Structure 1
């Protein structure tokens, strides 16, 4: 591909840091001090008290829903978008909650605030909100209304590192937030994720859930003492508080995260510059260009037809393939999740009709790679290819 989805996301200097670590006589490889250092630096960058480093963003979604399940063993409803990655919806199902879908705002690709509030019931346990591809999905109206109803926001920021709402970083606003450090994202630990929170109880629970539910993984002495006193017949090293998981990351991931975090602000700035140039050069008569850019931190160039046009879609895909422009149809997660087979029997067969904005993107939306070393002339070339379709 001449224009791939990602290029040069792990630099030589990152690999050199890993090599230096491996040169030690007896290097620590499993979860250790570099992981803890990365967690602390990430928390400082994001503006939260606590962060827990995991093996993926999908695991971050899973553990945030597991924490919600501890609070609500009776189950209930979680409001989710139909335009998101599968792990958001899957983690809701895996923890016994019912997903309630809400269509999106076309300018932010996040759930529409008015529709969210219309779907809130006495069974609503959380709003699991995705910041899609760098756009801020929060509104003051949503934050205030949910706070009044004591309904927590869980933020999926997996592909939107550095996005902000009113100057505050996305991921520092909700009860919990989830990040991914997959290769193509703003920064990468190859595979990796993070759960972030200001809630000390959540922090201890996520630490335990990350590692088999073991109480020894808690770093609050009061939590350990409580379990030791309650279960004196058990070996203190092997008390399992929850039927949990093994989703730890490694020291290598921590080293990569520390190196990449130093460049993250510059990466966000460059990606935002690229997006503005892309939208300025794009044919605004055929493609949507009026996205809400305030607080955005672009992950990929969104290419959405203004009107349904199957012939244009076919010409566009053929042209992109001929010119070596990598793309994904349907934008985030392959389009409308409600159409996916894993939801058969959970939603109605024709449920996709209830989400017309998402369904338009399913058929007439794409994303194209945006990355820090993409040059202005390359963006111009990509736009010329698109405009010629």
Structure 2
């Protein structure tokens, strides 16, 4: 997967690589290839010699490598800035071989660390582990700044970029510089950035690096870096002649030059005030975000509660509807009297005639069903009297008086 920081520069790289490659193919001696005329003219305009000392700063989060160069007054000014193609790992120092972390700290680059025969076009070794790293038992090897835009614990640039800053280092060594400093930092150590990363496990380590960063911001001169008591110290002047700094030993009596100490105290006062304000601002923003998240969660909980209550009411109503008894409209007494649950309503009472028909029909049905069985058993089955009219035809009519004892003509005449 390509890191997000690389994707930012990918379109530029893709557009530029083919054009750059033609220029690089024409480089017959990349180690001695002169700096572009535009950079030489810029150095002259800023009162810099082509062979004056340099220093470099690397900012991981910003993805930038800066080249600073000494001017005629001894102070340094930025001469070039390059977008880092790739760096591996996360913010924070390198701890052990194989963790694929790009180092953080202060590293001295000597001429022997420059590699003109690099497999990654050109490179220089950062000198990891330095005395601070070794005092903390940190391990790793071959941590480079190189070309080829590929990284596994290194800081990787394009070939065209490394060709330029390799030329800056080459010319500075030719000018007599013993070594140059590379400050490899997680980010620009402003109050805002430090406040934003104040909860990091590396915060105390970064506070230590910040002292050297601040000294450079104040003086525009690379800090003198030493290690004692397993920590970095900057611009310390020993009070005892021939005193030395040993990484794991106690620091010798030393102090920062008074002018730098006064300037640094004023700088720190303003920086700390800005840091506190930044922390308060971030805390307020975090508090607002937390409050917004809590309000949202509370609203969601209320909505879920309302939905649950609604579902419960629906379920209760459905259960009540299923258990409500059917009301009999034909029951005697109170017409709204409910039947027992699950009981079918009683049929309305039949009229005498209808009852008679029902009984007669039922008897005929039963007789018809019984006839075959009776016949088979040898029992005589009564035959319906054909003279008696079927009461089925009179269903639904009023019952007539019994006239079976009257003479036929009287029955006829009465109709």
Q: TM above 0.5, one fold? A: no
Q: Rg bigger for which structure?
A: 2
Task: Give the number of the structure with larger relative contact order, counting CA–CA contacts within 8 Å between residues 6 or more apart.
Answer: 1
TM-score, L = length of structure 2: 0.24
